[in-house]
Structure formats: structure tokens, C-alpha cells
Amino acid sequence: MIDSIFIGVLALQGAFAEHSASLQRLELDRNIDVILVRTPGDLSECDALIIPGGESTTIALLARLAGLLDPLKEFVKSKPVWGTCAGAILLSESIVGAKKGGQELLGGTSVKIARNGWGSQVESFEVPLSLSDVGDTSRPFRGFFIRAPVVLDLSSPSQSGQYPPITIVARIPPSLLPPSLIESNNVVSEDDPRTIVALRQGRHLLTTFHPELTEDNRFHEYFMRNCVLAGGMGKDHKPSTATTATFG
């Protein structure tokens, strides 16, 4: 029997069912078993974890109430984790726009992120994204941005060396950034960190949009191949300089 690989999907709140369905559609040479993670016992069986979109405040609270917060913090230190939308917020080192009184994060990447960068639901949008580092970059990916967060910064200088290098997988055009984030008269350059919507840092993947809501499996495959099955942290691809920012 071929060894199964156990991929957890954090199922406390949010779009976990779609991630599970996307994973089950993948055709890899390893068998994927999806575990819906609701308790520390579920988590202990997982080789890797996906944290879905939802409300980051709710997910963090439910994680604490379920006794999952500390096990999750330990998990992100050693195992591959992918966060979409709210999940990306939880994997960040620091956030802007936390609820009053602050909220808990898991950390795991050096990224600083702003919650709900675009405003209310009616500002949600979809845009075709061109990808890099992903297997098939010839066609765009449909990005759904739903009350999406915005990456503010990739790392602070004091952290250099603590984190593996970052590979940028997708950006949006600067013109799509929320006006509230852009200082007046400032032209945002193409390589501004705020235009980043998908990035990989070592074995962690962050996407501020929702690949699980399409039938396009490229991100799930990318996570499996480059984060989960790739093994070590150092096996980065050699993407073109235009799409890569390396820190540390």
C-alpha cells in the first residue's frame, strides 16, 4: 500500500469544505487523506495544514476554546501550512486592523498584513492573475478577493536570517489597490509589497484570495509539490528576478 499523506484542513469556521474538495481532486503520485481538524487530536495526525478563509477573529477564538491554539503555533513552526484570506492573516507575524483589544495570531511567516484592506462586501472583486513559480503559468488564475487582506510588508530588517526567502507567486496591478491604502500623489510601483497576493516562504504558502472557490487546482498542486512534498526548506525554485524578492 502506498503511504498516504495526511493533509489537515482547519474546520473551525469558514470555507473548509471547498479546500477539502479541491484536495480530493488532485492527482498526485501520493494518496491524499484529508482530515477536517477540529481538535488537537485531529491536528496531531496531520503532515500539513490548510487554514481556510473565514473570519480570523472567530477562527482564533474557536482555536483557543478548542485547545488548539498552542498546538497550532507549534505546528506552523515545523510543518507546511497554507493560509487563504483569514488563514493568511493568522500566519502573519503582525497585522493592521485587528479587532479592538487585539487578536491572536499563529505567526510562522515574516509578513505584515492589513485585515480587510478593501472595505465592505460590495468592494469584493475578481481579477485574472498571472502566476509565477507555479507549474503551468501560461494561463491566468481567477482570483476572488472577498473582504481580502493586503500584504503590507514582507519582513522587518531585525528578522533577517530568521525566516527562509520569499518567493512571490502572484501580484495584482497597483491600480487595483484600495485607495485608502495609497498615500496621495504617491505612485505605487509594480514591485510594491502591497501588490502581492500570493507568496511562499519556505514551506508556508499565503494567498489573500480564494483558490479553493475555483475548479482550478494549480494552487493546491503547488502547495502539495512545493511545500508539502518538497521536504527541506532550501529547495527553492529559480524564478525570474522580476517576480522574486529575497530577504535575509
Partner 1 sequence: MMTSTVSETPQGAVAGGNATPSVAPSRSTQRDGTPNSSLGTFGVKSGLAQMLKVIPLCLVVHLILLFFRQLGGVIMDVVNSEQARIAEEAGACAVMALERVPADIRAEGGVARMSDPKMIKEIVDAVTVPVMAKCRIGHFVEAQILQAIGVDYIDESEVLTPADEEHHINKHNFKVPFVCGARNLGEALRRISEGAAFIRTKGEAGTGNVVEAVRHERAVNGEIRKASAMSEEELYAYAKEIQAPFHLLKETARLKRLPVVNFAAGGIATPADAALMMQLGCDGGSCLVLATVDTSYELFAVVFVGSGIFKSGNAAKRARAIVQAVTHYNNPKILAEISEDLGDAMVGLTIDDKLTGGRLASRGW
User: Cα(82)–Cα(119) distance, rounded to whole angstroms?
Assistant: 24
User: What residues between 178 and 207 interact with partner 1 by CB under 8 A?
Assistant: none
Is 204 one of the annotated active-site residues of the chain? no
Our CB check for partner 1 shows the closer of 117 and 202 to be 117
Rounded to the nearest whole angstrom, what is the least distance from the CB of residue 30 to partner 1 in the complex?
A: 22
Distances in Å between the Cα of 160 and the Cα atoms of 35, 167, 232 are: 34, 15, 19
For the record, the C-alpha cell of 33 comes out as: 487523506
- Is 203 labeled as ligand-binding? no
Name which position in 45, 74, 173, 246 contacts partner 1 (CB under 8 A). 173
Name which position in 124, 156, 162, 246 contacts partner 1 (CB under 8 A). 124
Region near partner 1 per CB under 8 A, out of 113-121, 149-157, 223-231, 235-243: 113-121
- Is 50 labeled as ligand-binding? no
Name which position in 146, 150, 152, 196 contacts partner 1 (CB under 8 A). 146
Our CB check for partner 1 shows the closer of 36 and 230 to be 36
Check residue 120 for interaction with partner 1 (CB under 8 A): yes
How far, rounded to the nearest angstrom, does the alpha carbon of residue 244 sit from its chain's CA centroid? 17
Check residue 161 for interaction with partner 1 (CB under 8 A): no
The secondary structure of 212-239 as a DSSP string is: GGSS--HHHHHIIIIIITT-STT-----
Smallest Cα–Cα separation from 113: which of 136, 86, 137, 138?
A: 86
Q: Are 7 and 48 in contact (CB under 8 A)?
A: yes
Please give the size of the binding site for partner 1, defined by CB under 8 A: 56
User: What residues between 36 and 55 interact with partner 1 by CB under 8 A?
Assistant: 38-39, 52-55
The residue written with cell numbers 495584482 in the block is: 172
Binding positions for L-glutamine are 54-56, 115, 146-147
Which are the catalytic amino acids? 85, 210, 212
Contact residues: partner 1, CB under 8 A: 11-18, 21, 38-39, 52-55, 57-58, 61-62, 65-66, 85-86, 97-101, 115-116, 119-128, 139-140, 142, 144, 146-147, 172-173, 175-176, 210, 213-217
User: Which residues belong to the annotated binding site?
Assistant: 54-56, 115, 146-147
